[in-house]
Structure 1
């Protein structure tokens, strides 16, 4: 059966199978799957939801670990970044066609899928934000880079492919960007926020503050900020370091890793704030660090919706983030956090200085907790289930 014929019969076949209570065969595509990745946790939740409704779910992946799904290996050569993306995309779609799946959902930018989860946002928007800090010639080179040109073309091809039935967005910001930049029916864009474990991430984690402070040799009387994530250029660690300059009474814990860590340490020394920053590396027990902190800071250049912000809010921390972070949709300035432009040096110093008031942080953190309480895994599951029921019964 040709690809076009197979997809034109998608709604009819799915409706017939669903009404007969026959399990549908569904493929989820993700290049690398590790049990501890944020995006991968979403893939696992989606797989569990579909499997719990009796569907047969397979993962098409290059590498994987810690998944209960059956796996179809897709590991073509990858000598360059472009080949890594393009050859995987081509082979993954070929496998899905050969296996004759009823529904193909990709978590990578792959033309030909029927459902796409836009967890990485819009590549063009990321490049635009990244280029704001660059000189004219570097900006010119950025947009002419072979890898970025491939990603931009693949993104446009995927969003404007007639086979695409549905896009799951984890923030309204992402849905708005897709609608702005691509010829796509707005009715195909569905905003479903991620869920967070509000039992595990809770203000009661404050009990770990003394232990963490002792480990990192921080005074528990100080106000402590927390930064979580890897890829520190995009996450805005430079801005967080600069924000400490006006507040010698603040400490900042940095969780995660980056190959350029030495450059960030050097910047901190240059600015005279090296004693205020504590690089704690990758931690398996992130929850205790939320408990140790007074506020959460993420001056990201561009981030669709980091799970770390939901976890921090659930743990009772006010959030400092940017206008190009999807999580800003959860923040009301001065109530449960602050929203700034990622390049506003003075603004970041001002709001971080405000966070030296621990009592104010505690009050704002309780409002952050209240805001995020409805965003549970159960709430996410209900919305995803309703969407899949609509798709698999041919009502798209």
Structure 2
């Protein structure tokens, strides 16, 4: 496994090694006008992998496990997006198909082993009887009015493991282990003698793809078809890498952050359908425009205590008020609180929250008050605006829960206990 070097998203670019920042600029990951990194993921170059963890991540002694959490989190996020991930800035998850294909191939190998080519061979008196062929080709002896066949046509299935497809698979699995072993498994993957002894495939990449296309046309089992398609995808994906530089990650980790929090906090998927929507009056008729309605990030509820929390997943460092969400973000929360209130009875307690990545509480809450108070202990707030409570959730813990499909019950309680 290549060496892992750890950094964080939003790191000041001048603090990176010069060679790394130059390569990232060359690949378009760092724009000329940026002074901070805007990338979370993996940048592989010159035999090492630079790992950019989420902002405010606390790097522990078990660095390989942390890298594994990030790798698998990006894989789950990408896998959940059936139609890909597109926004105004293009594909927000670079190399998502590389992650998905690599993990799928490795898991298939662990579960099923190397590809086995199945051949059906005709035989006599061995294997499965073929009565129609026997009757048409052999003369029976008649005994007690019953025909007896001395030779019975039959067929046998012979499994051939030393095939070109198996060699291609073995070579790809060796490459995956070398590139991503620790990232997939969370720890070093020990040598597999059976795998290492398999000869390398013949021909170049185009020859291997041509062979896999022929093999695909002869395959019938679902597992074989899926495996061959994944092998083709891996060859095509890796063949397109630029000068041995491999990029897996996103410049927009806020999308992943929101998706992860929605899962681990057990956000209610359908709640936005309950919120009020705009209507336009035209020609004495009100026209509903539901697609332009409000869409909250995360709604969680505690039915036993009659509470609803409107949670906005904010991917900010939020170490000081200056790098915290601004007025537009506060306004959205104010309106979301008002919208949710319109859907429930008065006995339900509605609260609003920001959740930032981090392990240390820096900001407590956001308020609206009269201008001119400056920095003060005797704050005078505008009562018609709700308080927005601030929370910090360790991104490493979020990723671990996310890939293990766990609910963070304690953090849910922390949100409700404000």
TM range (shorter): under 0.3
> Which structure has the highest strand share of the two?
2
Asked which structure has the greater CA Rg, the reply is 2
With normalisation by structure 2, the TM-score equals 0.24
> Which structure has the highest helix share of the two?
1
